[in-house]
Each structure stands twice: as structure tokens, then as C-alpha cells.
Amino acid sequence: MPESGIQLMDHADIITYEEIVEVVKKSIQMGIDKIRITGGEPLVRKGIVDLVAMVAQIPGVKDFGLSTNGANLKKYAKALKEAGLHRVNVSLDTLDPDRYHQITRIGHVEDVLEGISEAQRVGLNPVKINCVIKKSSQEPDALEVAAYCRKNNLQIRFIHQMELNMGHFSVVEGGEGGDCTICNRLRLTADGKIKPCLFSNLEYNIREFGIEEAINLALKHKPKCGTTNTKGSFYNMGG
């Protein structure tokens, strides 16, 4: 989130859990079987466990994950697993408490580490760690996080710091994200837009076009390679 704050969406513009479920159902019918809930931070949204249960009960969901900053993961891990979630991705850029607090402005790294341990304990596996780097995975913070992951049997992915409006992105080290040659992902934003690419202004509103048509348009116009996004920010369409 920007330190200066954000402009909040009107509540009426935010799609309901029922609408999200309908998007997932239609996506499954069209051949998509991998679903991940991202943010913002999904674990601060009221009723998130209910949404997970609703999605998990849809026939055809083969891979169901959630991305989180981990601050509330200890509290919710068991309930999320019982609701049907398969796995989690957790953001962790440093192990240093002061550095972590500086990056997040309000967070405590100990809460995240406890959340990761709880996720492993209840069986939300694999737990994948997303570590943002500025230039290299050999940076001191990144090396410490990597050592922690090796010690605790966690999968680490290094994500180069991105800028939407500058078109700065690259392939994730340890993952497939950012590789335009194989990307087949679509993203549903909180206000109901299907985006074929984060680094593009293209988006199709499910309330305007209908769910199936919005998905078809996103697939039809999915760019071969990302360029820039001058309309959105990570905090309001998912990071």
C-alpha cells in the first residue's frame, strides 16, 4: 500500500463472494482448473474462510491456493485447511525485524514466521515463499530468507521488484510467473474486471459483458507479451 494512503472503492463496486463463485464455476467449465486467491491481503476480508469453502466445493478445482502477507496466517491456517484450501504463498522479503517493519510499516516478522509454521503443521503444502528482490537473489536479505527456507523445507521464489507503469518485470526465479511465452493466467479484480495481463490496460467487466463473454474477450485479446499498465496499481488489482 502507498504510504500516503489509497482511494477506497465504493462498496457497490466490489463484487460479492457469490459473483466470485460464479466466475470460478464458469472458468472450470471453460477448462481452467487452477485457482488462487490474491490481494491486497485476502485474510483481512470478512468471511474469507467462507469464500474458500464455497470455491473448494466446486467440482473441477484441482489446485487451490491463496497468497498472503502471512500476518494473520497463524489465526486462519487451520480453518482455511478445513475449508478446503490446498496451499499458500507467503510474502517474506527479510528476516530482520526492523527491516520487515520498515518495509510493511505495521508488520511484525515473528507473526509471519509463526503463520508459516502453522500452515505447514495443518498441511497447507507446499508453502511457497515469495521474496521480492531489487537486483539479485544474492542480496543479504534474500540470502537469509533462502537459508530459512532450506532449513524449514519451504519453496522459495525470488520476484524482481516490478513497476506497472514502467513495464518493469521479469521471470520469477524458482517459478513461472513473468514468463510471457508460457503465461496462460487470467486475473479477476475486486471490482469485477477480468484482466488478461497485469502489464496491460486491457480489462473486461463481468457485470458489463457477462462472465463468459468477459473471459472469452480476455482470452481473445491476451497480449503475447506484457508492456505497461497505466491504469492500475498492485494494491487494487492483486500483486
CB 66 within 8 A of CB 127: no
Q: Which CATH class is domain 12-181?
A: alpha beta
pTM: 0.94
On the 0-12 / 13-18 / 19+ scale of CB atoms within 10 A, 225 is: exposed
Q: How far apart are CA 116 and CA 70, in angstroms?
A: 7
State whether residue 171 is helix, strand or coil: coil
Q: How far apart are CA 10 and CA 218, in angstroms?
A: 24
List the grid coordinates of 9. Answer: 472503492
Nearest CA among 58, 48, 110 for reference residue 79: 48
Q: How far apart are CA 152 and CA 179, in angstroms?
A: 28
State CA 1 to chain mean position distance: 14
On the 0-12 / 13-18 / 19+ scale of CB atoms within 10 A, 94 is: buried
Domain ranges of the chain: 12-181
Q: How far apart are CA 38 and CA 104, in angstroms?
A: 17
pLDDT for residue 8: 72
Mean pLDDT in order along the chain per 10 residues (239 residues): 68 94 98 94 96 98 98 98 98 97 91 98 97 96 98 97 91 93 95 96 98 98 95 68
CB burial readout 20-34, b (16+ within 10 A) else e:
beebbbbbbeeebee
CB 225 within 8 A of CB 179: no
CB atoms under 10 Å from CB of 7, counted, come to 5
